[in-house]
Chains A and B, each alone.
Chain A
Amino acid sequence: MSDKILKINDGFILRSVKGADGDEKFVVITVGEASKKLNGMITLNSTSVFVWKMLEKGATRNEIITAVANEYEVETSVVENDINELLDKIIKYGVVNG
């Protein structure tokens, strides 16, 4: 399971929306078949955006967990559960090939 390369499925598109004070929020917009799996849009926090960008290129669970741990300068054990939970959720919604 941990060696499988996970990738975002077609039709799920990450973009950002800007605000008047220069702030921005990241959103995922669905088009085509993807909009049947997930209607509407989702906003992502900064960790989710980081994970998403890895999934756009394709990455294994272990690669993602390691990268997030390095990004936040913590041990992998600190982030492992949360990242696995996030990945399980987006696989369940058909966003990523599971």
Chain B
Amino acid sequence: MYFNVKIADVIIGVNYKYDYTFKVFSDYIVSNELTPAFTVNVTDEMIEFERKVNEKFPPSLVENIAVFRYIAKEVIKNYNCILFHSSAIAYDDNAFLFTAKSGTGKSTHVKMLANADSKISYVNDDKPFIRYFENENKFYVYGTPWMGKHNLGSNVRVPLKAVCFLTRGETNSITKVNPLDYLNEIFTQTVKPNEVNSVDSFTNVISALTTNVDFYLLKCNLHDDAPLTSLNGMIKKYAK
């Protein structure tokens, strides 16, 4: 079975076996008349790999993850596009990525933010793609079908304004930082290439990110006023 999807402005063909895969991609499906930039053919090996990673889930449930993994590696190669594990939100058509080690409280903080201001919407709460357009010298953040366990996000694209590293703190504070001091964090949260011939485009995208996008460090607690720190100290500064 076959469908075309449009993810991160790339038309991708998907040859698939299980209905669940179609369901996962449904918001991103586009006409079969369009010519795909590349096609994903799911193999038994790809499915077995995902079953090992995902606690032996049945093939029907992991096929979409196998497709996603293939897409993530392919778009690094030719489309200046990388997957950045983060919670991506939008405010006034500006996107912000919140990223942190697992268990730090990133999703909680972003949820509090979304509740604090109705102008905030989710782009993707878990696995957005970010894509660099050299002609515009600009990054866009994209919704994808993989939006975390609460399915927060939608099929949108929003210009990226800043990346915010989140850590726990006794009090709330936010400061602009030099991204070159946080390369470890950036590399931990991005899906890296596994082929030599993708390394250059990956590092070019990372360099474009660290050169053109603002980076912040947020130290926050879980008090009710925590979201005001990122709202006033970062997000509203870019408001139009």
Interface residues of A, Cβ cutoff 8 Å to B: 11, 13, 15-20, 23-25, 27, 29, 31-32, 35, 40-41, 43
Contacts and interface: CB of A to CB of B under 8 A. Distances in A.
Most chain B CB atoms below 10 A, which of A11, A17, A19, A24: A17
B199 A15 contact: yes
B196 A19 contact: no
A18 B213 CA distance: 12
Nearest to A29: B199
Nearest to A42: B184
Q: Which 9 A-B pairs have the closest CB atoms?
A: A15-B203, A19-B180, A18-B207, A41-B187, A25-B180, A17-B207, A13-B199, A20-B211, A17-B206
A19 to B, nearest CB: 4
16 contacts: A15-B199, A17-B207, A18-B207, A19-B210, A23-B178, A25-B180, A29-B187, A29-B193, A29-B199, A29-B202, A29-B203, A31-B192, A31-B198, A40-B188, A41-B183, A41-B187
The secondary-structure label for the interface of chain B is helix
A27 to B, nearest CB: 6
B44 interface: no
Chain B: interface size category: 20 to 34
B236 to A, nearest CB: 22
B55 interface: no
Interface of B: 178-180, 183-184, 187-188, 192-196, 198-200, 202-203, 206-207, 210-212
B206 to A, nearest CB: 5
Nearest to A19: B180
Nearest to B193: A31
Given A16-B203, A41-B184, 9 more contacts: A15-B200, A17-B183, A19-B210, A24-B180, A27-B187, A27-B203, A29-B193, A29-B203, A41-B192
Nearest to B203: A15
Contacts of B206: 17
Nearest to A25: B180
A31 B207 CA distance: 19
Contacts of A16: 203, 207
A36 B11 CA distance: 32
A17 B204 CA distance: 8
Nearest to A30: B192
Contact of B196 (A13, A20, A25, A41): A13
Contacts of B178: 19, 23
B178 to A, nearest CB: 6
B183 A25 contact: yes
Given A13-B199, A29-B203, A19 B211 contact: yes
Contacts of B195: 31-32
A64 to B, nearest CB: 25
B55 to A, nearest CB: 21
